[in-house]
Amino acid sequence: MLQLFQQLFGKKPHTIQLHISSANGFHLRPVAEFVNTAKTFACDISALHQHKSVSAKSVNALLSLGLEKGDSFTLLARGKDAKVATETLQALFARLMQEDKEVSTLGKETKVYDGQIIEGEIISRGVVIAPVCRYAEREFATEARLDFSEALAKSLDELEILYLAHKEEENGSIYLAQKALLHAIADDLDSFETFELTIAEASAHLTGSKMASKIIDYQDILRRVKNHMGIKTEMILPETSAILLAEDLLPSQITQLRSSRVEGVVLKETTLTSHTAILLRAAGIPSLIADYSTVEEHSRVILDANSGMIVSKPSEKDLTEAEKRKTEDRKQRNIAANKRFEKALTRTQKQIHILSNVTDIDSAKEARAEGAEGIGLLRTEFLFKNRKPSLEEQTKAYTEIFSCFENITVRTLDVGGDKKLPYLTLQEEDNPFLGIRGIRLFKTHPQLMEEQLHAIFLAANGRPIKVMFPMVSTVEEFMHAKAFAFRTAEKYDLDISAMLFGIMVEVPSVLFLIKNFNRVTDFYSIGTNDLTQYLFAIERTHPSLKVDEHSSVVFDAIKTVIDQADKPVSICGELAADPKAVGTLLKIGIETLSVSPKRIAATKEEIRHV
């Protein structure tokens, strides 16, 4: 009784022991998710490890404990909702540990070379022969001189946009985690100097620990903020093909490498699980972790990231062998690539159409290279980044993207909910997922929508492009948007008679209105991401509540659409690329799936076995 009294009135905290079982330790991404949930409780929550107590509501503080596999820490919650808080966090922590994938060391192929061998760990496979160049950078002043708080806000927005653009990929959560880290560090700080000092202290604390690879995330956010304050640091990239040798690289620098002449990378100080390593793998750049100190600057070496070695001073024989391996690698990739362009036929020879979800010209080109048959969902919100693109910019972007395929479905701006635009002020709402979102913008922001449709129509130039409205919940809403589109075409004297207008099925009310929609819509595309969140009333971004995306409810909902629709139906939510779902989706009659570019080949292959 006394114990209960003490717990209720704050004298005695609720405590639980949490044990780190993941080989990656308690690192940035799970910490960010843990802290997000902790923050939803009013009680004080702290974490205690080896006599150090920190707030469990701060990413930065929790990371400073440097918790590694095998460590335990005590979670203490004191206050009104302390009991639920500890229970929720305990369940969440168990899931985070379970789901945190260990990055296993990639197996090395055995290879004997005559040259000098430096062994390393493989980050990403491939063979490169090129001169080495050591990392260099330059710092300079730019015109963008925001003050600290503006630069902070801009950096947070940027990270949010990056997350939204990459959330379907493995690396998407890196941006979300960096955003949480930046939030935690910068909260309550009012000067850049204190911010820089806090970063320096946090980095010093991690130096030498197994979590040292996280220092790079601190440096990355520091650089992002500095950049907006007018201090830009730029990596000096080689002008000819090269293998880049660097102590470490920042996650944000990997994007730059993708379009550079850097063919391979050797890092000294990263780990296989660092965000830099994850992004190098995602970019498919052959790379190793190795001590390259003895490699002479500009010397030509073999980076054999299949065998895990750098061969310096290679013999002629080594070079011929390595060339052969490069060609062999390319051939293997070509075989896989060639199959991507083959039709996806089920065992009974039924063809399933595989389209792709894209966001810009680069992903559209990637989709084409990966064997997509068209674009099933062009998420246009990513063309609208830090500032609103002009009519000309939008038209140019759509024209380029539309030229990639015959079959194109473009979705009108879908902001609101978890998708925000820095320059578009939507009124504060208690439940943004149930508020001004998607098609509802036609009523609140008609000018913005008119300009977007105008650009789409100009780019379509008479072609039968499909225009799709998101978040439709009633027939009236759809009719209003469609009439708006026709009025826009009339206003600018554009012929849109060949164009088709359809809806995303992502609000449950539509499931009961299919017969009415049949009369007015030209097609349906099921957005299972939102449909699932609205069916179960669980936010898709909720940190601890998880929906069972394979629930029979979801498949029943899809079947309802297929059974009643007399217009083409496709699926563009993530379920379309889920290997566990594809068989059932085909069984209930789906014939068109739209998936992210990276999932095209695998989804086609999956279908061939159904």
160 binds ligand PEP (CB under 6 A): no
Name residues contacting Mg ion, limited to 486-515 (CB under 5 A).
506
168 binds Mg ion (CB under 5 A): no
- Number of residues interacting with ligand PEP: please give it, by CB under 6 A: 10
Question: Among 284-292, 325-333, 524-532, 581-589, which window interacts with ligand PEP (CB under 6 A)?
Answer: 524-532
Query: For the residues of 429-467, what is the DSSP string, one character each?
Result: -S-GGGSS-GGGHHHH-HHHHHHHHHHHHHHHTTS--EE
Q: Between 216 and 471, name the residue whose CB sits nearer to ligand PEP.
A: 471
Q: Between 59 and 439, name the residue whose CB sits nearer to ligand PEP.
A: 439
Q: Between 550 and 608, name the residue whose CB sits nearer to ligand PEP.
A: 550
The three-class DSSP label of residue 53 is strand
CB of 416 to Mg ion, least distance (A): 10
The C-alpha atoms of residue 510 and residue 514 are separated, in whole angstroms, by: 6
Site string for ligand PEP, 484-513 (x = CB under 6 A): ----------------------x-------
Q: Between 62 and 401, name the residue whose CB sits nearer to ligand PEP.
A: 401
CB 465 within 8 A of CB 442: no
CB 491 within 8 A of CB 460: no
The C-alpha atoms of residue 179 and residue 38 are separated, in whole angstroms, by: 16
364: tokens are: 């559209």
530 binds Mg ion (CB under 5 A): yes
Q: CB neighbours (10 Å) of residue 341?
A: 15
530 binds ligand PEP (CB under 6 A): yes
Site string for ligand PEP, 559-578 (x = CB under 6 A): -------------xx-----
Backbone φ/ψ region at 312: left (φ over 0), alpha (ψ -120 to 50), beta: beta
Selection from Mg ion, ligand PEP, none that 213 binds (CB < 5 to 8 A by kind) is none
603 binds ligand PEP (CB under 6 A): no
Active site residue 298: no
CB of 530 to ligand PEP, least distance (A): 3
The C-alpha atoms of residue 6 and residue 29 are separated, in whole angstroms, by: 34
CB of 528 to ligand PEP, least distance (A): 5
379 binds ligand PEP (CB under 6 A): yes
**Amino acid in position 94:** A
Catalytic residue among 275, 353, 445, 454: 275
Chain center to CA of 449: 26
Chain center to CA of 575: 16
CB 375 within 8 A of CB 344: no
Chain center to CA of 497: 37
CB of 527 to ligand PEP, least distance (A): 3
CA proximity to 85, closest of 39, 26, 18, 27: 39
CA proximity to 221, closest of 174, 272, 189: 174
CB of 529 to ligand PEP, least distance (A): 3
Q: Between 295 and 575, name the residue whose CB sits nearer to ligand PEP.
A: 575
* CA-based radius of gyration for the chain: 26
- Residue 128 CB contacts under 8 Å (≥ 6 apart), including other chains: 243, 263, 264, 286, 302, 303, 305, 326
CB 234 within 8 A of CB 138: yes
Active site residue 275: yes
Name residues contacting ligand PEP, limited to 38-57 (CB under 6 A).
none
CB 31 within 8 A of CB 53: no
Q: Between 172 and 230, name the residue whose CB sits nearer to ligand PEP.
A: 172
CA proximity to 148, closest of 225, 69, 62: 225
Selection from ligand PEP, Mg ion, none that 572 binds (CB < 5 to 8 A by kind) is ligand PEP
233 binds ligand PEP (CB under 6 A): no
Q: Which of 46, 213, 528, 592 binds ligand PEP (CB under 6 A)?
A: 528
CB of 378 to Mg ion, least distance (A): 13
527 binds Mg ion (CB under 5 A): yes
Chain center to CA of 522: 31
CB of 593 to ligand PEP, least distance (A): 12
CB of 530 to Mg ion, least distance (A): 4
Residues that bind Mg ion in the complex, under the rule CB under 5 A: 506, 527, 530
- Catalytic residue numbers read 275, 572
What residue ranges bind ligand PEP (CB under 6 A)?
377, 379, 414, 506, 527-530, 572-573
